[in-house]
Amino acid sequence: MSAANGFPRVLIDGVYFQVGRTGIGRVWTALLREWAAAGLAERLLVLDRGGTAPRQDGVAYLPVAPCDYRYTGDEAARLQELCDRERADLFVSTYYTAPLTTPSLFVAYDMIPEVYGHDLDAPVWREKQYAVQHASGHVAISRSTARDLARFFPGVAEADVTVAYPGVDAAFRPAAAEEVEGFRARHDLAGRPYFLLVGNRSGFNGYKNALLFFRGFARLLERERFAVVCAGGVAELEAEFRPLAGDAAVRLLEPGDDELRAAYGGALALAYPSRYEGFGLPVVEAMACGCPVITCRNSSLGEVAGDAALFVPEDDAAAMAAALGRVLEPGRRRELIAAGLRQATQFSWRDMAAAVAEAMRRAAARRPAQIWTEFRRIQAAAQERDKIEQHLRATKADAEKLFLQFLHTRMVLQEVRDHVARVEDYVARIESTRTWRWRTALLESKQKVLRLAERLLSRRAG
């Protein structure tokens, strides 16, 4: 019997891929791959927003326009039309969209906007709130995220949230010695031990906390003999980190998976001192590659790293410096590598895909409240009004700009007219002078002489 028998028809909105291809993109790429391998592809249809969704063999894609989170009332109605047309039993969004009456499954990646005080009235975060409330089922990528989801949305019971941990891509495994040597040679790191940072180094309100690493690094004796490799993040080292790096070499890279595997393989440690994570993929990737990890025991990081990492308090530079020193000790380093390799085996994309698929089955059987149709109709009307008002404001601004340009042009023309009048007056005054009259008479006399000379020459020639 096919695995697809009895499985709901699922419409997956690939909207996240129009935003970026970071960790969330990796999650959905892996889930589609695993579902295709499990024989579920025939039950899936992915909405491809503006041609941004990566393709998975066996999975069907439907091209649709990119999402504009400012006008989600109409967007929800369009999504419902698609669900009805495609006879979808369930809708799943990769990033905070929802239909009207078709059941939906919400996937929670983190609660960073809620924890760190983003403007929750911004359109995308408002839609996150609506998507949570519309959903017939909820999935979180860690137990910590499930707790935070229930904390910020009291209508969601933590016990009802499916926890589905992300996995580790096959690319992340211990690198061969020649891979590491090649990586060092390409980035001028031969003979230079280095620490590794992966991803954004600051984040909203500094929650990524790379500052802690650099504060600890600044305390190391002979820090100039080390290097710091930054994989991902902005292309230039942040100004606040430069003095703390001192004379140490800093390499800023945008590596692919194979290059990142080699970077993990050669690093003294991955430093990942984030204050908050929904999961923390780099921690598991590093462990799978045999790279020791230094992190903080908060949010999801404790459950993801287990006992296989060195933990430091989020603001303790001395503890960070001590941890950076401990990974240099051969015995402790071997322990961390072995523990990390064991810990990484607990995370599998196949297990995540199976857990989310089961959550899909359950969610498809529950209908959302009928209030959503009326709510979205009202929302669409309000957003259309805002759109018209915004257009009117823009038109008014354009009109004011054109009027100012007209006034400026008229002023310039008047200045030109005034200048021409002054020139004409000046010329008239010159022409009325005795000197000018003499000059005119002289020119007229000259012309008469020339004409007389021409007649004389003509008679002689005749």
pLDDT in tens, 134-173: 999 999 999 999 999 999 999 999 999 999 999 999 999 9
The Cα 119–Cα 124 span in angstroms is: 10
Q: Yes or no: is domain 177-347 CATH 3.40.50.300?
A: no
Residue range 274-322, pLDDT digits in tens: 999 999 999 999 999 999 999 999 999 999 999 999 999 999 999 999 9
**How many residues are given for the chain?**
462
Could you say which of 3.40.50.2000, 2.60.200.20, 3.90.180.10, 1.10.8.60 is the CATH number of the domain covering 10-167+352-369?
3.40.50.2000
Predicted model pTM? 0.81
Encode pLDDT of 202-216 as tens digits.
998 899 999 999 999
The answer to whether the CB of 278 falls within 8 A of the CB of 142 is: yes
- Once rounded to an integer, what is the mean pLDDT over residues 217-235? 95
Q: What's the whole-number average pLDDT of the chain?
A: 91
One-letter amino acid of 384: E
Query: In angstroms, rounded to a whole number, what is the distance separating the alpha carbons of residues 33 and 140?
Result: 19
Least confident of 18-32, 112-126, 438-452: 438-452
Domains in the chain: boundaries: 10-167+352-369, 177-347, 371-423
Least confident of 1-5, 70-74, 288-292, 345-349: 1-5
Residue 4's pLDDT is what? 65
Task: Categorize the per-residue pLDDT at 226 as very low, low, confident or very high, splitting at 50, 70 and 90.
Answer: very high
Q: Tell me the backbone φ, ψ of residue 64, rounded to 5 degrees.
A: -140, 165
pLDDT band at 114 (very low <50, low <70, confident <90, very high): very high
- Indicate the DSSP class of residue 4: T
Confirm whether 10-167+352-369 and 177-347 share one CATH topology: yes
- Identify the helix (H) or strand (E) that includes residue 294: strand 293-295
What residue type is assigned to position 437 of the chain? R
- pLDDT score recorded for residue 425: 81
Q: Quick check: 445 pLDDT over 90? A: no
Strand spans (E) along 248-287:
249-253, 270-272
